[in-house]
Copies of this chain bind each other. A is one copy, B any other.
Amino acid sequence: MTDIARLAGVHVSTVSRALAGSPLVEAGKRRRIVQLAREHGYVVNPVARSLRLQRTQMVSVAIPLQHEAGQPLTDPFFVAMLGHLAEAITQRGYGLNLQKVVLPTHEWLAEIIASGRSDGVVVIGQSTEHDTLQQVAAAYLPLVVWGAQIPGQRYCTVGSDNPGGARAAVRHLLKAGRRRIVFLGDPTGPELRQRYEGYERALREAPRGTAPPRRVSAHLTPDAAYTAVCECLRAGDRFDAVFAASDVIAISAIRALVNEGRAVPQEVAVVGFDDISLAAHTTPSLTTIRQDVEQGARTLVDLLFRRMEGEETPSVVLPAELIVRESAPG
């Protein structure tokens, strides 16, 4: 900037003002300075700017992942969320600082905040970190979390209507005449727990003769789900429908079923959760509960910026919609 000032024959402060578009500096001079800066490929140093302004124009996006579950950063839903967050954050002229958090880690959130690398934090997925979030949120406002809303929660979440979505999925299966519906997935973390609860509730409301809730445990990875379903089938388990906690494991479940000689959807219907972009394109295509990632991301960012301004924002629950496709026709 000193260089530009010298070239323009003015003081740095004038350059600073000109580049900030201040009306204080004479229009002609301002244009000349801006032009000069462009010619020389000069852009203001955001580090120095941040130090001076005490704000970084950065948002941290933290993704807590269970190490033991081997959960990679490749879950398509999280990733779609990340993409849309990048979009929304960039649109506001902010940068995105990506933090992959491998649990269990001590004080990960406090450290992200204390480091001052960002003006606000988005956490994608509560995972098992409800307590951490509770604690940190007490003293730090600009924090929003994608996830489930939990009674007594003190932090701000945006998330889908997990129980409602799950219930809609199971009711759809019941209406199609299915009576032995298993839940595939591990209800670790509030979101999946709520999906399980929705599943249970729908079964409680089911016609007589419907089999009671039954869970097939599996981490949210393709391999885990595949293995779990195979074992279950070989153990002679009988069911005519699967409600999977996510699309990724629903797809694995279909493969396991077909490989073990069960026709999908004729013998076993499958419903997933998320509506990832591939869901419409698998064979058979996947009946699922859509979470609107794009709106979710926009809402998260919107709330975050309001919190960055000091506003106390409430949590938001977005509708989750049943999408009927081939794996569980109507």
Partner-B contacts on A (CB < 8 A): 41-43, 45-48, 50-51, 56, 61, 72-74, 76, 79-80, 82-83, 86-87, 90, 95-100, 110-111, 114-117, 222, 226, 248, 251-252, 254-255, 258, 264, 277-278, 280-285
Closest 4 A/B residue pairs (Cβ): A73-B83, A86-B100, A79-B79, A222-B281
Q: Which of B51, B79, B114, B226 contacts A48 (CB 8 A)?
A: B51
Q: Which residue of chain B is the closest to A247 with respect to CB atoms?
A: B278
Q: Given A51-B51, A83-B100, answer yes or no on A116-B45 (Cβ-Cβ < 8 Å).
A: yes
Count identical subunits in the complex. Answer: 2
Majority SS at the chain A contact face: helix
Q: Which residues of B contact A72 (CB under 8 A)?
A: 80, 83, 277
In the assembled complex, the Cα of A110 lies from the Cα of B45 at a distance in Å of 14
Q: Which residues of B contact A254 (CB under 8 A)?
A: 283
Decide if A83 touches B87 in the complex (CB within 8 Å).
no
Q: How far is the CA of A248 from the CA of B87 in the complex (A)?
A: 22
The answer to whether A255 and B277 touch across the interface, beta carbons within 8 angstroms, is: no
Contact of A74 among B50, B79, B280, B281 (CB under 8 A): B79
Contact between B47 and A117 (Cβ–Cβ < 8 Å)? yes
A45 to B116, CA, bound (A): 6
A234 to chain B, nearest CB (A): 18
Measured CA separation A82–B79 after assembly (Å): 10
Some 25 contacts from A to B, beta carbons below 8 A apart, are: A41-B114, A43-B115, A45-B115, A47-B116, A72-B277, A73-B80, A73-B82, A73-B87, A76-B76, A76-B79, A79-B79, A79-B82, A82-B98, A86-B98, A90-B99, A95-B99, A96-B97, A96-B98, A222-B280, A251-B281, A251-B282, A252-B281, A254-B283, A258-B283, A283-B283
